[in-house]
């Protein structure tokens, strides 16, 4: 049987945690600065609409999670309902 390229998952996963967790904390800390209401208009433009993104996320995640070992995150319960993961 020929060996296949499976990538470098474990090491990269650990490195990603070191990067992303501090990044999340940094972003959370930055949220302490309140944005005035009159400054928020641009957040309502169609390209900034994250509600629309949740639609897409549900679609993508359902496909991904039923074909990958890792299920769970925004928009899913990581199990049940379709028998696919």
Partner 1 sequence: MLLVRTSVALVGATCLVSFAPLATGQDAVDTGAGTGADTKTASGKLGATSHGEAGDQSWTVRLGLYDRDDSGGGGGNPFLDESLTIIEPAVIYDNQVSDDFGYDVKFSYDLVSSASIDGLSDYPASAQSGASGDNYFSLDFGFRHKLSNTDNLSWHIDVATEYDYTSFGVGGGWSHEFEERDASLSLNLNLYEDIIQPIRFDGSTDADESRTSIAGTIGWYQVLGPRTHGEFGLTFSDQSGFLETAYNYVIEENSVSGSAVPNQSIPVVGYIDTEELPDSRTRTALFGRVRHGLSDTDAIELGARLYDDDWGIAAWDLTPRWLHEFESGLLMDLRYRYYTQDAADYWSESFTGTGPTADLPTFRTQDSDLGEFNSSLLGSHWMWGREKQWDLGVNYLSRSDGLDHIFLSLGWTTSY
Minimum distance between the CB of residue 55 and partner 1, rounded to whole angstroms? 5
Query: For the chain, how are helix, strand and coil distributed in percent, rounded to 5?
Result: 55, 0, 40
Work out whether 68 is an interface residue with partner 1 (CB under 8 A): yes
Work out whether 18 is an interface residue with partner 1 (CB under 8 A): no
Site string for partner 1, 37-66 (x = CB under 8 A): xxxxxxxxxxxxxxxxxxxxxxxxxxxx-x
Distant-in-sequence, close-in-space partners of 84: CB < 8 Å, separation ≥ 6: 65, 66
For residues 13 and 30, give the distance between their C-alpha atoms in angstroms, rounded to a whole number.
25
Work out whether 22 is an interface residue with partner 1 (CB under 8 A): no
Q: Are 75 and 61 in contact (CB under 8 A)?
A: yes
Residues lying near partner 1 in the complex (CB under 8 A): 1, 4-10, 12-14, 16-17, 20-21, 24, 27-28, 30-31, 33-35, 37-64, 66-84
């Amino acid at each position: 049987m020929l060996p296949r390229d499976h990538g470098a998952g474990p090491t990269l996963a650990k490195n990603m945690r070191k990067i992303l967790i501090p990044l999340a904390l940094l972003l959370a800390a930055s949220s302490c600065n309140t944005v005035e209401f009159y400054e928020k208009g641009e957040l309502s433009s169609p390209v900034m609409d994250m509600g629309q993104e949740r639609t897409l996320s549900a679609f993508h995640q359902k496909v991904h999670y039923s074909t990958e070992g890792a299920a769970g995150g925004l928009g899913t319960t990581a199990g049940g309902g379709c028998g696919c993961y």
